[in-house]
């Protein structure tokens, strides 16, 4: 499955591409069938979810550290308010991956390769 030809993207488009799987799915060729789209999501949504989980973790760690007092405005910890959407978006990406794996099935696994045991003994 090929992507559309890449053109230079603005910084805003690059950020959308880095954080959201939907941005990529919207740019797949129109003739791509649902199974191929589900396979792409199964293979890549985990990466997007990991990015959002890391962002949520960093937000919560900064807010609970002594540096977090800088982000308290009017008695409300601001980074905690940003933590919840980041965590929910990460959960949404995980849910998309699970649903896509249910549709597309597990990824194809390459057959085992023949191994020459004699070559291994000579390395040690």
| Other Cβ atoms within 10 Å of 91 Cβ, number | 14
Average pLDDT, the chain: 84
Average pLDDT of the residues in 35-50: 89
pTM (2 decimals)? 0.74
Q: Which DSSP helix (H) or strand (E) runs through 77?
A: strand 76-77
What is the distance between the alpha carbons of residues 99 and 35, in angstroms, rounded to a whole number?
Answer: 12
Spatial neighbors of 45 by CB under 8 A, at least 6 apart, are 21, 93, 94, 96, 97, 100
Confidence of residue 1 (pLDDT cuts 50, 70, 90): very low
What is the distance between the alpha carbons of residues 105 and 61, in angstroms, rounded to a whole number?
Answer: 37
Confidence of residue 6 (pLDDT cuts 50, 70, 90): low
Q: Which DSSP letter does residue 67 get?
A: G
What is the distance between the alpha carbons of residues 3 and 29, in angstroms, rounded to a whole number?
Answer: 7
For residue range 50-109, list pLDDT tens digits in order. Answer: 999 999 999 999 999 998 889 898 888 889 899 999 999 999 999 999 999 998 888 888
- Is the separation of the CB atoms in 59 and 82 below 8 Å? yes
Question: In the chain, pLDDT over 70 holds for what percent of residues?
Answer: 87
């Amino acid at each position: 499955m090929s992507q559309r030809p890449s053109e230079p993207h603005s910084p805003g488009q690059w950020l959308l591409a880095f954080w959201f799987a939907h941005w990529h799915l919207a740019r797949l060729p129109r003739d791509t069938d649902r199974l191929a789209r589900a396979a792409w999501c199964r293979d890549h949504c985990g990466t997007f979810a990991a990015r959002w989980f890391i962002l949520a973790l960093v937000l919560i760690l900064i807010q609970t550290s002594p540096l977090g007092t800088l982000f308290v405005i009017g008695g409300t910890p601001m980074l905690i308010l940003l933590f919840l959407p980041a965590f929910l978006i990460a959960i949404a990406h995980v849910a998309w991956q699970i649903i896509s794996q249910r549709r597309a099935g597990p990824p194809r696994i390459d057959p085992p390769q023949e191994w020459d045991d004699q070559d291994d003994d000579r390395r040690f």
